[in-house]
Amino acid sequence: MGSVKDLEIIKNPSEIAMGIGRFHFSDRYSVFDWGEMPDQIKGKGEALCLMGAYCFEKLEAQGIKTHYRGLVNNNGKTVTFKKIVNPTNVMEVNLVNVYHPKMRRKNNGMDYDYSLYTQKLKNCLIPLEIIYRNGLPQGSSVFNRLEQGKTTLEDLGIDHTPIPGEHFSKPIFDVSTKLENKDRYLTWGRAKKIAGLSDTELIAIKSVLLKVNSTITNLVSKAGLINEDGKIELAFDNLRKLIIVDVVGTLDECRFMYNGFHISKEIVRQFYRKTNWYVDVESSKRTAEQQNIKNWKLLCKSQPLKLDNKLINIVSGMYMATTNAITKQKFFDVDSLPKIIECYKEYLVEKK
C-alpha cells in the first residue's frame, strides 16, 4: 500500500458498499517523500497500530465516524483495544474506493484532472490531506512556504508573520493534495473545487478536524506531550457521510513535543537535514517542478545514509514509550519517555 504499511484486502469495496481490509503496520519509515528508507525501527509498526486504534476508539466514543473495525489479535480475531493483551501490528478497517485523478498536459506543463469528483460521488476517499496546526515548531513547512511565496498569511488565517515555536489561540487549518505524485498545498477554495465539495461539506470537514485536534490534544497532554500539528484523511461512506480513514493520532501523523524536544519523525528528519542526500532531494524537487518532470527521484544524485545504531534505538524506544504513556498500558518493555529523552540529549551532545 505504501512505504510504511501494507494493505490486505479481504473484501473489495463496490460503488455502493464498503469493503473490508487489514492494515499491516511495518517497522519501515519514510521522510521527505522518499519512500522506504534503508533502515527499520524496531517496534514502530506495533506502536503505531496500537496508538491509532486507541485514538480511533476515543473518537468513536464521541460520535465521530471512522473506518476502524478493530485490532487483530494473535489468534486472528478482530477485537477492541481493551481486549488486546499482546502488541499487534494488524488493524482491521472498512475500505472505500480510491479514484486517482488523471494527469494531463496543460500550458506546456502537467496538471491533474479531478472532474470525476462531483457531489454525487459516494463511498470514496476525499483526495485531500487535512491538517491542523496548533503551533509552528522549528522545521514546520509553513516557514519555507511563506518564504517562497507559496502561501500567504491570509491563506493561513493569521494576521502576522509567525516565528518558530509560536502557538496560536486558535488552530490553523491547512490542506494539501493526497493522490498526486507530490503533495501540494492548496487554498481552501481550490481544495473545495477539486474534491467536488459543497459549502456544507467543507464546513463539516473543518468541524471534524477541530474535534480530532481537541481529542488528540487532550489524550496526549495526559502523557505530558504538546500536540503541535497533525493530519487526517477523510472519505465519504455509501450515504456520502464523512468518515475518518487511514490512521490518526500517531507519531507519523502528528508532531508532538515533550519539554522542548520533538516526539515524532522530526527527530529522523533532523538527522537527514544535515546530509548531502537532503540537499540533493531538495534540488531534485525544485528541478522537477521547474521542468515538469514527473518523478523527481530520478534526478537525485545520492541515496540516503543509514541511521546510526544509537539513534535507531532511541527512536525505537521513543515510539514504544509514547504508546505506553498515551494508552496507559505497558505494552512494551522499554524505558519511560523522560529517560529516552535524556538519552537523546546525550546523543546530541556527542554529535556536536
Closest CA to 22 of 71, 66, 60: 71
Pairing between strand 68-72 and 128-136?
A: unpaired
Answering whether pTM is above 0.85, one says yes
Distance CA 108, CA 42 (A): 46
Set out the domains of the chain in order of their start, with CATH numbers.
Answer: 5-273+308-350 (3.30.470.20)
What is the per-residue pLDDT for 316? 97
Asked if residue 94 lies in contact with residue 246, where contact means CB atoms within 8 angstroms, the answer is no
Q: How many CA atoms lie within 13 A of 162 on its CB side?
A: 28
**Taking 90 as the threshold, does the pLDDT of residue 103 lie above it?**
no
- Residue 283's pLDDT band, with cuts at 50, 70 and 90, is very high
Asked if residue 257 lies in contact with residue 226, where contact means CB atoms within 8 angstroms, the answer is yes
**Taking 90 as the threshold, does the pLDDT of residue 212 lie above it?**
yes
The lowest-confidence range among 5-9, 84-88, 143-147 is 143-147
Place of cell 477523510: 234
Closest CA to 220 of 139, 134, 91, 140: 134
Instruction: Write down the mean pLDDT value for the chain.
Output: 93
Helix (H) / strand (E) containing 110:
strand 109-113
Q: Is 222 helix (H, G, I), strand (E, B) or coil?
A: coil
Distance CA 343, CA 314 (A): 7
C-alpha cell at 222: 495526559
**Taking 70 as the threshold, does the pLDDT of residue 121 lie above it?**
yes
Closest CA to 244 of 218, 215, 274: 215
Distance CA 252, CA 5 (A): 11
Burial class of residue 303 in the structure, from the number of CB atoms within 10 Å of its CB (0-12 exposed, 13-18 middle, 19+ buried): exposed
The lowest-confidence range among 9-18, 163-172, 183-192, 287-296 is 287-296
Radius of gyration of the chain (CA): 20
**Taking 90 as the threshold, does the pLDDT of residue 46 lie above it?**
yes
* Phi and psi angles of residue 36, each rounded to the nearest 5 degrees, phi first: -60, 130
Place of cell 525501527: 41
- Residue 155's pLDDT band, with cuts at 50, 70 and 90, is confident
Distance CA 216, CA 249 (A): 6
* Phi and psi angles of residue 202, each rounded to the nearest 5 degrees, phi first: -65, -40
